[in-house]
């Protein structure tokens, strides 16, 4: 994991592998940040951040799949990146409850290790995910 200058991480936070927190990011107590995630500068996080995502802005919002890092360091295929993007499209752009979006991912998106990680992360989230 990488934490930029001025980043504040409250107690009991969980950072999965290969997380990048840019400068001046603030994580609220008990937040969970999923693997291969990029949180851009100045974000204040009070909910869980799902894996393979880019989060930016204040209030924080989903800004896409962390595709460049996944390709460079994990050798993720274009096909799997499209599947990750489709899963997040259902979560963030579909007009579904989070539970319905997860079910649609299971039904519609081809399963891979990455998709299984996203589904498990969302199902196990205690704080809810950044929307």
Just give the CATH number of 77-124. Answer: 1.20.1180.10
Residue ranges of the chain that CATH labels 2.160.10.10:
2-68
pTM of the predicted model as reported, rounded to 2 decimal places = 0.94
pLDDT tens track for 23-82? 999 999 999 999 999 999 999 999 999 999 999 999 999 999 999 999 999 889 999 999
Residue ranges of the chain that CATH labels 1.20.1180.10:
77-124
Q: State which fold the 2-68 domain adopts.
A: UDP N-Acetylglucosamine Acyltransferase; domain 1 (2.160.10)
Q: Are the C-beta atoms of residues 66 and 53 closer than 8 Å to each other?
A: yes
Q: What is the DSSP letter of 95?
A: S
Percent of the chain with pLDDT over 70: 100
| Coil/strand/helix, residue 129 | strand
pLDDT tens track for 90-106? 999 989 999 999 999 99
| Cross-strand pairs, 39 | 21, 55
């Amino acid at each position: 994991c990488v934490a930029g200058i001025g980043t504040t991480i409250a107690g009991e936070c969980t950072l999965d592998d290969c997380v990048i927190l840019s400068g001046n990011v603030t994580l609220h107590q008990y937040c969970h940040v999923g693997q291969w995630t990029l949180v851009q500068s100045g974000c204040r996080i009070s909910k869980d951040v799902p894996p393979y995502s880019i989060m930016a802005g204040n209030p924080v919002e989903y800004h896409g799949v962390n595709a460049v890092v996944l390709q460079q360091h994990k050798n993720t295929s274009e096909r799997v990146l499209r599947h990750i993007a489709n899963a997040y499209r259902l979560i963030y752009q579909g007009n579904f409850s989070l539970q319905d979006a997860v079910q649609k991912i299971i039904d519609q998106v081809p399963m891979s290790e990455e998709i299984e990680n996203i589904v498990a992360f969302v199902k196990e989230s205690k704080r809810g995910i950044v929307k």
